[in-house]
Structure 1
Amino acid sequence: MYFFNQFFVIAILILFGGLIWAALDFWRLGKAITRPISQQSAITYTGIPTIFIHGYRGNRYSFGRMLHRFYKLGAAQKTLVIKIAADGTWKTNGNWVFEQNNPCIQVLFCKNTADVSQQVQWLTPLMAALKAKGVTTVNLVGHSMGAVTAVAYCAQALTASQPKIAKVVTIAGPFNDLELGKDTAEILSYPLTKDGPQRTTPIYEYLQQHMAQVPYPIKFLNLVGNILPNSRVQHDGSVATSSGLSLKYILMQTPHIYHQAVLRGANAAHSLLHENSLVDWNIIEFLWRPSK
């Protein structure tokens, strides 16, 4: 009985400690990092903010741990968190003054099931607010539907009241899907030819038409997952590899500069890509290395 009681007490303590850790982790992932970054010689530091956009049903976990890893590596610092409510108003945590520390902005949509057009509508006044505070250039990073939102934001008629878009990183974007949010019973996959997908969806056609009208070139890095490289339909568990790689053909007849990388294996699963160290490395190389 003594050993049983002792084991019970230890189990309770472990459970209690785990709950405390989970609560603290949840809290910190939604807060800006205020401690100065330890800068590294291999990184180029600017004051250009990089805005992180989660996908359908995304939350602070979508990019929260990645942003903390960037900070620990001395690559970038999460200086601002913006929570956008369903009515378009927002609450912030952090600093709107952007220093030479590769500042990052974590955007959290309170209504995280909104569609691409709604997310773009919410982002537009936020971008105008950044421009009003002296921000002339930004980068965008999006995961899943947030990747499509990032490109769709670029595809709209940008005005002088919005910052210029320098670089865009898209992760697991369903660029040729009919359903951009919810997972479907079967993963939609239209095979790719040398000229593009065999069949195209409305979002593909919209982006292809409007990205050609952007008046300046944007650099793109498209990261796509493939967990079953030998299967008939290759995918990341939610999005077909062919759909993710369709961005290449959307941009093919435009002045934009396109790079891509396909990540393979279990860690390339759709919801694990933002926890994948190779994704971290590709983003750092693309956004913040001197050679880029």
Structure 2
Amino acid sequence: MRRWLPVLLGGWFSYHWFSRRAIRPLHRSSRGLQVASAVPTLFIPGWGGNAWTYNGMLRWFARHGYASKVLTVRVDYRGRLHFTGTWTGAAENPTIQVLFDRNLTQGYQHQIRWITQILRALRQHYGITTYNAVAHSWGGSAMVQSLLRDGADPQLLRLNRLVLLGTPVDESGDLHVPDPAYRRLWRWRGNLWANAGAEIHNVYGFLAGRKTDGEVPVRQARALRPVVAGSPLRYAEYPLAGLGHSRLHSARIARQLIARLLWAPKQND
């Protein structure tokens, strides 16, 4: 095992080094569904997530001409932001990969603060005003909490489109006693009006004969619907039969759906 350790470590560091490099599209998409936009899309991993979570998806998007990766933002153990790459504002459908060094936290409270911090920094340092986001599992939970808690802050970016992947919103064990995080969403619901016109696309999987993707029950993912109902945001759900939790960001059918949800023309365009 020891003789293989340098090889394994070398591969791990190489993979993370490549994850911080820009990824250019090989050709423009020929699917006719893509809108070329300067709005960046953040890719936020869940608990234990790292560069492996989205590297494959980002390369797939580039290979099929959907998008190009321009920035990586790494949040270190002290909560400091480190940006790698170049933002010119000229790239079509630019993507920004988010990495948390401290990715094995007991909850996602730290991630809520870090996401808000990233949205503020992107506006202050790069002049970005609008964003999309793709968030998996607890990364989605943190993204939703950040949106409702801090979304009305004028120093933050305004949301355009959010794609949630297997995101638990209400993790209560008792259906009649919502968890504290879910109750906070209801308390902050009024902040949704600051992002009027934004879209939330809630993608979740379920295994054969089960109402879960193996980790997140369907009811926990769908709990966002009543919170958003009646707000000026558009909300839709996309159940994917047969997809387990981790395949929501690795399966081809999921990647195709995510590309459509991010870059297809809006209904009123």
TM-score interval for Structure 1 and Structure 2 normalised by the shorter chain:
0.7 to 0.9
Question: In angstroms, what is the RMSD of aligned CA positions?
Answer: 2.4
Counterpart in the other structure of 2:256: 281
Structure 2 Cα separation of the partners of residues 227 and 200 of structure 1: 25
Secondary structure class of the residue paired with 1:104 = strand
| Structure 1 residue 24: Cα displacement | 7.8
Counterpart in the other structure of 1:206: 184
Unpaired stretches in structure 1, ≥5 consecutive residues:
1-14, 179-187, 191-197
Whether the 8 Å contact between 2:115 and 2:143 is mirrored in structure 1 is: no
Alignment of 1:31 onto 2:20: yes
Output aligned runs, 1:1-292, within 5 Å. Answer: 22-23=11-12, 26-27=15-16, 30-35=19-24, 37-41=26-30, 42=32, 43-114=34-105, 115-132=107-124, 133-157=126-150, 158-178=152-172, 188=173, 190=175, 198-214=176-192, 215-217=194-196, 218-228=198-208, 230-231=209-210, 234-265=211-242, 268-291=243-266
Secondary structure class of the residue paired with 1:81 = strand
- Calculate the TM-score normalised by the size of structure 1: 0.80
Structure 1 Cα separation of the partners of residues 174 and 255 of structure 2: 27
Secondary structure class of the residue paired with 1:32 = coil
Whether the 8 Å contact between 2:25 and 2:66 is mirrored in structure 1 is: no
Larger CA deviation: 248-257 vs 20-29: 20-29
Larger CA deviation: 26-35 vs 69-78: 26-35
Whether the 8 Å contact between 1:212 and 1:251 is mirrored in structure 2 is: no
What is the aligned-residue identity percentage?
A: 26
Secondary structure class of the residue paired with 1:160 = coil
- The runs of at least 4 aligned residues of structure 1 exceeding 3 Å deviation read 18-25, 34-37
Whether the 8 Å contact between 1:52 and 1:63 is mirrored in structure 2 is: yes
Structure 2 Cα separation of the partners of residues 106 and 213 of structure 1: 26
Gap change, CA 1:110 and 1:19, over 3 Å in 2: closer
Structure 1 Cα separation of the partners of residues 170 and 265 of structure 2: 33
Q: Could you tell me which amino acid in structure 1 is paired with residue 187 of structure 2?
A: Q
Gap change, CA 1:24 and 1:37, over 3 Å in 2: farther
Whether the 8 Å contact between 1:172 and 1:224 is mirrored in structure 2 is: yes
Whether the 8 Å contact between 1:211 and 1:251 is mirrored in structure 2 is: yes
Unpaired stretches in structure 2, ≥5 consecutive residues:
none
Whether the 8 Å contact between 1:29 and 1:65 is mirrored in structure 2 is: no
| Structure 1 residue 253: Cα displacement | 3.3
Q: Could you tell me which amino acid in structure 2 is paired with residue 238 of structure 1?
A: E
- Calculate the TM-score normalised by the size of structure 2: 0.86
Gap change, CA 1:31 and 1:282, over 3 Å in 2: same
Q: Could you tell me which amino acid in structure 2 is paired with residue 235 of structure 1?
A: T
Counterpart in the other structure of 1:7: none
Q: Deviations over 1:67-117 (max 9, x none)?
A: 111111111111111110121212222113232410111110100023332
* Higher-Rg member (1/2): 1
| Structure 1 residue 269: Cα displacement | 0.8
Gap change, CA 1:134 and 1:201, over 3 Å in 2: same
Larger CA deviation: 145-154 vs 111-120: 111-120
Secondary structure class of the residue paired with 1:52 = strand
| Structure 1 residue 121: Cα displacement | 1.3
Structure 2 Cα separation of the partners of residues 213 and 145 of structure 1: 21
Structure 2 Cα separation of the partners of residues 20 and 87 of structure 1: 24
Structure 1 Cα separation of the partners of residues 16 and 61 of structure 2: 18
Secondary structure class of the residue paired with 2:248 = helix
What is the aligned residue count? Answer: 256
Whether the 8 Å contact between 1:46 and 1:99 is mirrored in structure 2 is: no
Whether the 8 Å contact between 1:189 and 1:243 is mirrored in structure 2 is: no
